[in-house]
Structure 1
Amino acid sequence: MEIQGRIKMIDETKTYGNNGFRKREMVITTEEQYPQHILIEFVQDKCDLLNAFQVGQPVKVSINLRGREWVNPQGETKYFNSVQGWRIENLIQGQPQNDLPPVPPADAFEPATNLNEEDMDDLPF
């Protein structure tokens, strides 16, 4: 799954437990009629993906939804969900950034002057 929006917040990487579990959270604000503020967590080596991004940047984040069950000491079963990011891409004006060169506008080309309406072509229309 993917979420697109602008980065609202990027937290610092935090380390938990004796095994050094790492987690870093960010918030994406979607750009729709009713914007949503989505908390996304990046864990372990994925924490470093956020180093190249800043608040305000438009991004697309690839996510996995995670769910878990927990039974408390009173015997009640509780359920928890999390949104876990595993890839993040910069967006430029709603389009993914890529290595293709920009396309010049149509008015940058001169119109053809040597047209012959009687020339046959093999186009079906």
Structure 2
Amino acid sequence: MALEFEGSLIKVLSEVSGQGKNGVWVKQDFILETADQYPKKACFTAWGDKTADLKTFSLGDKLKVTFSVESREYNERWYTDLRAYRIEAAGEGSVSSTPAPAPRASSPAPRPSAPVADLPSFSEDDQDLPF
């Protein structure tokens, strides 16, 4: 399942690398902050060649990150990563493999109401109901 997050790049942490059984690995964490009334911050991890993609952006840039959520257990504690697999400028006209969620309305649309006098009256004796 792909998820998306848009926000401003506020911090890029140091690149970390190491040697694993499959060879050398590299990762870099970065933090985005939303521009909502109550801003939210999220820390994402870019792995491998995605660290090079991250270097093309500057602090303050508006980014859209497509990511997956991964959790793992170690010593009976759980750790969760937001693994970025696409990092792009927000508003970029690219085609996404998953549709963005529809925006939610902040309040329900007003429903028109008819005056009570205009409503039809029914009794239990009416047999021609439409249902």
Aligned to 2:77: 78
Local SS of the residue matching 2:49? helix
How far the C-alpha of 1:13 sits from its partner, in A, is 2.3
Q: Residues 82-121 of structure 1: CA distance to partner in whole angstroms, max 9, x if unpaired?
A: 1110111112xxxx1238xxxxxxxxxxxxxxxxxxxxxx
Structure 2 gap ranges (5+): 95-131
RMSD of equivalent CA atoms: 1.6
Distance in structure 1 (CA, Å) of the matches to 2:49 and 2:92: 23
Are positions 1:69 and 2:73 aligned together?
yes
Matching residue of 1:88: 87
Partner residue in 1 for 2:56: 52
List alignment gaps of at least 5 residues for structure 1: 100-125
Aligned residues: 90
Partner of 1:97: 92
Partners in 1 of 2:66 and 2:86 — Cα distance?
5
Number of the residue aligned with 2:11: 9
CA–CA distance in structure 2, aligned partners of residues 46 and 6 of structure 1: 18
1:14–1:23 CA contact under 8 A, matched in 2: yes
The alignment status of 1:36 with 2:18, answered yes or no, reads no
CA distance in 2, matches of 1:25, 1:33: 25
Answer whether contact 1:4 1:60 (CA < 8 A) is retained: yes
Partner of residue 31, structure 2: 27
Moved beyond 6 Å, runs of 4+: none
TM-score scaled by length of structure 1 = 0.65
